[in-house]
Structure 1
Amino acid sequence: MMILILGGSGSGKSAYAEDYLLRTAGDKKKYYIATMQIWDEEMQAKVARHHRMRQGKGFTTIEQPMELEQAVSQMEPAGAVLLECMSNLTANEMFSGEQPVDRQTVITKILQGMEGLRKQADPLVIVTNNVFEDGIAYDSATIEYIEALGRVNERLAAEADEVVEVVAGIPQRIKAYPISIERKQACVLSNLFS
């Protein structure tokens, strides 16, 4: 099962994603794929805060700012995975060299890495940022990044079993996980006789 969780900066999407994974993981090994590259003290402080938030929750952290397929080789099959976050991964893949990598190459590379991860993870919870919402004019490299992240988000949302947008800490289901008729009937019957 793949769940895409999106929201703006400071929306509460990361906390929601972590809680979601902890509720659905059961006894499975839990992995946290961290994609942030640490460039300065502010980023280091943010990473340290995230480590403190996860402390004691049973996560194995895999620092993987690029080359998503390498994270797969570090995991046991059928583990529960939280990928935090697609926005950082896309930026890292595009801007880590001397020249930005073209949008289509970045999209293809990320989606190929996601294929391997989807085969290995259950559930797979992905955190990403909303794009195209601020209406600000950007330089061409930033537009390429926004376009790439937008296309990756579209593809992941289409393939996801569930899509949730978090706004001010409140999750809003955009795409709900389908429940079979038999399961709905069993839920209704169990509620009637409880």
Structure 2
Amino acid sequence: MADHHLILGGTRSGKSGYAERCGLADDNARRHVYIATGQAHDAAMAARIARHRADRDARWHTVEAPLGLAQVLEAENKPGTVILVDCLTLWLSNALAADCWASERDALLAALPACQARVLMVSNEVGSGIVPLGELSRSFADEAGRLHQALATRCARVDLVVAGLPLNLKPSQR
């Protein structure tokens, strides 16, 4: 199993900052790639993206990828590289809106095991609340939960971040 790391947490839980610190602390990394999946469809999201960019350490080379995540992973897949994907739930939203979720998910799950780079994936844990009323919201929560389960089996480490504190759910075997 490759040394991939899934980092889950709620909104503003500190998961992105934790993921960035984990990636930069990797002594074997010669290259750091930040795959950003968000899109600025409104002013609030544009401000959030700008804040993330401003706070990001300059060692991260950023690639914007609202879709085509597996293809970007394959292109950036080089030994000695740490790839941080932030965030999977935004990517899921993009793929649901573009009606290409199944192919995007399948491509990611197929590409990940072959990835020699260390991959850290950040995602919102949305399954701790009530079942959403709307069909699209239920579909989103269901697909996020299924994705997290599939990735957890493929990752060496899984953490849940709450109030800025990481809770290890699956310790790394390396």
The TM-score, its normalising length taken from structure 2, stands at 0.89
Structure 2 residue runs of 5 or longer lacking an equivalent are none
1:91–1:52 Cα change, 3 Å? same
Counterpart for residue 115 of structure 1: 110
User: 1:117–1:29: structure 2 CA closer, same or farther, 3 Å change rule?
Assistant: farther
- How many percent identity over aligned positions? 28
Q: State whether residues 159 and 166 of structure 2, in contact with CA within 8 Å, keep that contact through their aligned partners in structure 1.
A: yes
1:133 corresponds, among 128, 134, 140, to 128
Helix, strand or coil: the match of 2:76? coil
Superposed counterparts of 1:43-192, under 5 Å: 43-56=45-58, 58-72=59-73, 74-75=75-76, 77-78=78-79, 79-96=81-98, 101=99, 106-135=101-130, 137-178=132-173
Between 114-123 and 77-86, report the one with greater CA deviation. Answer: 114-123
Cα 1:43–1:27 change in 2 (3 A) is: same
Give the aligned residue type for 1:81. I
- TM-score, normalised to structure 1's length? 0.81
* Mapped contact 2:70–2:104 kept (Cα < 8 A): no
Change in 2 beyond 3 A, CA 1:5/1:76? closer
CA distance in 2: counterparts of 1:77 and 1:86, whole angstroms: 21
Bigger Rg, which one? 1
Of the structure 1 ranges 130-139 and 153-162, higher mean CA displacement relative to structure 2 is found in 130-139
Q: Secondary structure at the match of 2:114?
A: helix
Deviation at 1:94, TM superposition (A): 0.3
